[in-house]
Amino acid sequence: MIEFKNVHKWFKDLHVINGVNLNVSQGEVVVVCGPSGSGKSTLIRTVNQLEKIQQGEICVDGINVADPKADLNRVRTEVGFVFQHFNLYPHLTVLENIILSPMKVKKQSRAQAEAKAQELLAKVGLAHKCDAYPQQLSGGQQQRVAIARGLAMEPRVMLFDEPTSALDPEMIGEVLKVMKDLALSGMTMMVVTHEMGFAREVADRVVFIDHGEIVEEAAPEEFFLHPQHERAQQFLNQLL
């Protein structure tokens, strides 16, 4: 479903993604971890072209998204993205946040988009908050709205960039629960997170990145119990 082939990216002379090869199959959940500054955000942002690459290929469901001629609207319809800082529109209600792109990009009618939004809000446990504004919600609630907003486009793939790292500890669980349900429903997911409990329980594979390179790639229990590379061992020791 997602295929990185020898992907390279530079910010000026800083080589931030260095020859990444990675395949994510349909329905698979891949957790990406690694030290701060290792290139995790940049890597997943290349999938929906929030970052351009200079070399290599990235295919999502058969579309080469890195091709300058790729249809960005199509790419962003297929690939949902959830940011660390929610990025909801503050001047729009929860419902309006969710229906905006389906109406604009997918040309859905308001009634159609609202029906889908209500269904998704129920799924993330926030049906009663449809008329609230983002600042009236807790961080955990805002992040659940952001996930519902991503799902409203009916993407083939969902990407998460440290979705719980801006949250107070007591709100992390409710967001991880929504993500776990989504994984169980068969969604293909790439998740940058340091929530190792989530990785152990939900991920099919863990990918460890350092200096823009995939250093280790393993099933969660293997990665956590028997990390092969020194850099992965050091990283895991720091999390303890």
Interaction partner, residue 186 (Mg ion, ligand ADP, none; CB < 5-8 Å by kind): none
Q: Residue 207: how many CA atoms within 13 Å on its side-chain side?
A: 23
Selected from 41, 48, 77, 101, the binder of Mg ion by CB under 5 A is 41
The bridge status of strand 188-192 relative to strand 205-210 is unpaired
Which residue of this chain has its Cβ atom nearest to Mg ion in the complex?
Answer: 41
Interaction partner, residue 89 (ligand ADP, Mg ion, none; CB < 5-8 Å by kind): none
Given a contact cutoff of 8 angstroms between Cβ atoms, the answer to whether 33 and 234 are in contact is no
CB of 62 to Mg ion, least distance (A): 28
Selected from 38, 97, 143, 193, the binder of ligand ADP by CB under 6 A is 38
CB of 41 to Mg ion, least distance (A): 3
Give the residue with the Cβ less far from ligand ADP, 61 or 213: 213
Separation of alpha carbons 199 and 194, rounded Å = 8
Selected from 6, 11, 26, 221, the binder of ligand ADP by CB under 6 A is 11
Q: Does 77 bind ligand ADP (CB under 6 A)?
A: no
Give the residue with the Cβ less far from Mg ion, 80 or 102: 80
Selected from 20, 22, 40, 48, the binder of ligand ADP by CB under 6 A is 40
Give the residue with the Cβ less far from Mg ion, 114 or 161: 161
What residue has token string 């250093």? 215
Angle CA(108)–CA(59)–CA(211) in degrees, nearest 5?
A: 120
Residue 150, C-beta contacts closer than 8 angstroms, at least 6 positions apart: 80, 81, 82, 158
Give the residue with the Cβ less far from ligand ADP, 52 or 104: 52
Interaction partner, residue 11 (ligand ADP, Mg ion, none; CB < 5-8 Å by kind): ligand ADP
Give the residue with the Cβ less far from ligand ADP, 46 or 143: 46
DSSP string, 84-149: TT----TTS-HHHHHHHHHHHTS---HHHHHHHHHHHHHHTT-GGGTT--GGGS-HHHHHHHHHHH
What residue has token string 């990216």? 9
Interaction partner, residue 16 (Mg ion, ligand ADP, none; CB < 5-8 Å by kind): ligand ADP
Q: Using CB atoms within 10 A of its CB, is residue 72 exposed (0-12), middle (13-18) or buried (19+)?
A: exposed
Q: Does 193 bind Mg ion (CB under 5 A)?
A: no
Question: Residue 210 — φ and ψ, nearest 5°?
Answer: -140, 140
Q: Does 42 bind ligand ADP (CB under 6 A)?
A: yes
Question: Residue numbers of the site for ligand ADP (CB under 6 A)?
Answer: 11, 14, 16, 34, 36-42
